[in-house]
Amino acid sequence: MRVLFFLLTFSSIFVQNVFAQKLCYSCASQGLRSKWYLTGLPPVSSSLFTTSCDHTPAVTASCAGPCMVMSFTDPDTSGNTIQTYYVRGCHQTLTQSRADRFDDNSTRTFCEIDETYSLNGQDKTSGQSTRMVFLLCNDNECNNQQFDVNSRFTCDNQTTGLLNGNAVNCYDCLAKQGSNCFDSRCSKKYCLKKSVSIGGGTQILKTCSNVNIYGVDNTCQTNDVSMNPAG
């Protein structure tokens, strides 16, 4: 299955410096082994998945850029059974993108939260609201962030990055198989377009987001991912 992610935004650009080497935790929640498509990231080694990643990560990797922590709730769980997933590691390695949101000489953590981040669940037919937290930081800062996305973790210095103080106006629709859509609208910091091609068919999802895991204003990525045919 081929998935294309297009992220278009007019948010402000941060200064990018030459990154120093960092030692970042490198792991992903065990439950993401069969649901990696939820992350929007390129495929990773199976050794990345571990049960200890959620709260007691141990494996580290040397990184040329900032460390990354991404945490979000499973769109297929709710109520008292909400499942939270974590991805930790070198941002540039995981995203194949060089972020311009992080100043290597600063101790400030770049942080974004979206309380209503749209993810497709197992039915793949509609976006479901989840809570997404994304951090870019130095090794000590990221490695010490033992947070639970459900515990009302907040970004103390979350940047707005809006155009003239206003959110961008994005399409918010799921196209019928093999077609495009220009229906309803939503407004957040970023516009997101996702195109999924499988079995000769293509489906397009357009929405808005307050989180940008790629760390650059405009980007396009294409990934081949494996999925359980039943999911």
Length of the chain: 231
Q: Which pLDDT score, from 0 to 100, does residue 94 have?
A: 94
Contact yes or no for 14/103 (Cβ under 8 A) = yes
Query: Could you read off the pLDDT of 26-54 as tens digits, one per residue?
Result: 999 999 998 898 898 988 999 999 999 98
Query: Could you read off the pLDDT of 48-85 as tens digits, one per residue?
Result: 999 999 888 888 889 888 899 999 989 887 777 888 89
Q: What percent of the chain has pLDDT over 90?
A: 20
Query: Could you read off the pLDDT of 117-166 as tens digits, one per residue?
Result: 988 766 555 567 888 999 888 877 777 766 666 666 677 656 555 655 67
Higher pLDDT, 113 or 4: 113
Phi, psi of 38 (to 5 degrees): -65, -25
Q: Which pLDDT score, from 0 to 100, does residue 227 have?
A: 57
d(CA 216, CA 9): 9
Confidence of residue 170 (pLDDT cuts 50, 70, 90): very high
d(CA 27, CA 47): 8
Instruction: Determine the Cα angle at 126 with ends 120 and 128, to 5°.
Output: 55
> Which of the 8 DSSP states describes residue 108?
P
CA distances from 62 to 25, 44, 134, 189 (A): 9, 16, 20, 31
Q: Alpha carbon 166 to chain centroid distance? A: 22
Question: Within 10 A of 97 (CB to CB), how many other CB atoms are there?
Answer: 18
Higher pLDDT, 118 or 10: 118
Q: Which of 50, 63, 68, 59 is nearest to 141 (CA)?
A: 68
Contact yes or no for 67/25 (Cβ under 8 A) = yes
Tell me what the pLDDT averaged over the chain comes to. Answer: 78
Residue 179 has pLDDT above 90, yes or no: no
